[in-house]
Amino acid sequence: MFRKILFALIMGVFIAVCAAAVLWVEVEHYALRPAAPADPSERTVLIRGGQPFSAVVELLVARGVVQSPLKFRVLARLRGVDRRIKAGEYALRASMTPLEILAALERGAVKLHRLIIPEGWTVQQIAAAVEAAGLGAAADTTRLAGDPALARRHGIEADSLEGYLFPDTYLFPRGVAAETIVGVMLERFREVFTPEWSRRAAELGFSVHAVVTLASIIEKETGAAAERALISSVFHNRLAKGMRLETDPTVIYGIENFDGNLTRRHLATPTPYNTYLIRGLPPGPIASPGSASLHAALYPAQTDYLFFVSRNDGTHVFSSSLEEHNRAVRQHQSRQPPGPRTPP
């Protein structure tokens, strides 16, 4: 009787070992077999924090990137991955092997969304772009950018981050905090505005904030890249002479709900940004300047120009005297153009 029982136990263990070996071989083979090898299309899969692995597997099956949920769960358990997957939004393909899918989930290779911030955009425009990219509410970005305490913590001499959210192309995962987005843009600004540039600003008698403010005006006034240093020279020359800058973009920035039509009434309305009425720079940047405009603000061309007028093709005519400037205005403009126009 004992021998029969022993034999049965041995056979049971043998069968179990054989079954396990077969299952192991089958799972290892399954690990390298995509659900649809010829399908390269991406499927977005959103895994939430705290979601059980069984629910994750159901989601992967429903999205068509995993076949045989049992084998997938066994593979994950054998690899020790089922408890190490990371939450996030993933771009997976049915042409990926189960092993590749598990590796992506384990290392948190989440989908990144492209956020393009052009030069010359304001905080409001940047915030709208963040929302349009699906990376958070515009109001959150606007709130942070207008927080004086946050500006101070980042060493910015202003009550706003206007001008410091550096224009560039960024990649962020969905669900990223607004603080992270803003922080990355500020870090990019610090990378671009080097210690050498800070020393150059001091040589000019400018604070970093003043440089960013001037660069933002240059950014908004420049139509042709080659003219940045010339436009900068006009503003430097006017500042040195105590002349008003008289530049339309600053006036526009100070107008709430500007409708696109700049009038003489606007030019005569006092605001902190109306450079037709105030002398010197406005209180802060009017947009985010790029590195080329920052460089132009720090290294203006050496000219005696005091005026410029648009040729209506993106370039300008530069003049050293009001007489020359008025001739250029009559030649190229039927009304008063953007840019410094008349002396104070």
Q: What tens digit of pLDDT does each residue of 237-271 get? A: 999 999 999 999 999 999 998 988 999 999 999 99
Q: Is it the case that residue 4 has pLDDT exceeding 80? A: no
**For the chain, how many residues are written?**
344
Other C-beta atoms lying within 10 Å of the C-beta of residue 327: 14
Integer distance in angstroms from the first to the last C-alpha of the chain? Answer: 117
User: Cα dihedral sign for 224, 226, 228, 233?
Assistant: negative
What average pLDDT does range 126-143 have in this prediction?
Answer: 96
Of all residues in the chain, the percent with pLDDT exceeding 70 is 89
**Whole-angstrom Cα distance, residue 137 to residue 158?**
24
Question: What is the dihedral angle through the alpha carbons of 98, 100, 104, 109, rounded to the nearest 10 degrees?
Answer: -140
pLDDT band at 343 (very low <50, low <70, confident <90, very high): very low
Name the residue ranges covered by the structural domains of the chain: 29-107, 112-192, 205-332
Closest CA to 66 of 107, 24, 27, 96: 96
**Whole-angstrom Cα distance, residue 238 to residue 236?**
6
What pTM value is reported for the model?
0.83
User: Residue 121 has what pLDDT?
Assistant: 98
What average pLDDT does range 292-296 have in this prediction?
Answer: 98
Q: What tens digit of pLDDT does each residue of 45-57 get? A: 999 988 999 999 9
Are 182 and 161 within 8 A, CB to CB?
yes
C-alpha pair distances (Å), 316 with each of 231, 240, 251: 9, 22, 20
pLDDT band at 5 (very low <50, low <70, confident <90, very high): low
Question: What's the token pair of residue 23?
Answer: 């299952």
Q: What tens digit of pLDDT does each residue of 73-118 get? A: 999 998 899 999 999 999 999 999 999 999 999 999 999 999 999 9
DSSP label at residue 46: E
29-107 CATH fold: Dna Ligase; domain 1 (3.30.1490)
Can you name the residues that pair with 116 across neighbouring β-strands? 169
Of all residues in the chain, the percent with pLDDT exceeding 90 is 77
User: Residue 337 has what pLDDT?
Assistant: 47
C-alpha pair distances (Å), 254 with each of 64, 216, 248: 53, 14, 10
